[in-house]
Structure 1
Amino acid sequence: MASTSLPSCSTSASSSQVWNYDVYLSFRGRDTRYTFVDHLHAALRQRGICTFIDTESLTHGAHTARSFSKAISESRIAVVVLSKNYADSRRCLNQLAMITHMKKEIDQIVIPIYYHVDPSDVQKQTGTYEEAFLKHELINSENVEFWRKALEELNSHPGWVLNKDPYR
Structure 2
Amino acid sequence: MEKGTSSWASSGSSYEVFLNFRGVDTRHGFTDFLYHGMVGAGILVFRDSESLHVGEEIGAELLQAIENFKIYIPIFSANYASSCWCLRELANMVECTLKSNGNKEILPIFLDVEPVDVKLKTNLYNQTLSKRQKTLCSEAESWQKALIAVGKIKGWNLKKDEREASDVNSGMMVVEADGDGD
TM over 0.5: yes
2:43 to 49, 70, 93: 49
Cα offset for 1:99? 0.2
Question: What stretches of structure 2 of length at least 5 have no aligned partner?
Answer: 165-182
Number of residue pairs matched? 154
Map of 1:32 onto structure 2: 26
Q: Does 1:89 align with 2:83?
A: yes
Q: What is the one-letter code of the residue matched to 1:27?
A: F
Q: Percent identity?
A: 32
Q: Please identify which structure carries the higher strand content.
A: 1
What runs of 5+ residues in structure 1 fail to find an aligned partner? 10-17
Aligned mates of 1:2, 1:53 — CA distance in 2: 15
RMSD of equivalent CA atoms: 2.7
Name the CA distance, whole Å, in 1 between partners of 2:34 and 2:70: 17
* AA aligned opposite 1:21: Y
Partner of 2:125: 129
Deviation (angstroms), 1:47: 0.4
Q: How far off is 1:152 after superposition? A: 1.1
Q: Shift in Å at residue 98 of structure 1?
A: 0.3
8 Å Cα contact 1:69-1:95 kept in structure 2: yes
Q: Describe the SS at the equivalent of 1:19.
A: helix
**Mapped partners of 1:154, 1:132: distance in 2:** 17
Instruction: Name the CA shift for 1:159/1:71 in 2 (closer, same or farther; >3 Å).
Output: same
Match of 2:168 in 1: none
Change (3 A) 1:53 1:122: same
Could you list the runs of 4 or more consecutive aligned residues of structure 1 that deviate by over 6 angstroms after TM superposition?
1-4, 56-61
CA 164–89 in structure 1, closer or farther in 2 if over 3 Å, else same: closer
Asked if 1 retains the 8 angstrom alpha-carbon contact of 2:107 and 2:153, the reply is: yes
Letter in 1 for 2:81: A
Bigger proportion of residues as helix: 2
TM-score (norm 1): 0.81
- Give the superposition deviation at 1:58: 6.7
* Aligned counterpart for 2:74 among listed residues 80, 91, 99: 80
SS at match of 1:75: coil
TM-score, normalization by structure 2:
0.75
Alignment equivalent of 1:119, drawn from 101, 115, 120: 115
The 2-side partners of 1:51 and 1:31 are apart by 19
Alpha-carbon separation, structure 2, partners of 1:130 and 1:93: 13
User: What is the match of residue 154 of structure 2?
Assistant: 158
The answer on whether the counterparts of 1:123 and 1:152 sit within 8 Å (CA) in structure 2 is yes
2:91 is the counterpart of 1:104? no
Give the deviation of 1:32 after TM superposition. 0.3
Cα distance change, pair 132–3 in 1 and its aligned pair in 2 (3 A): farther
Q: Which amino acid aligns with 1:126?
A: T
Does residue 138 (structure 1) correspond to residue 138 (structure 2)? The answer is no
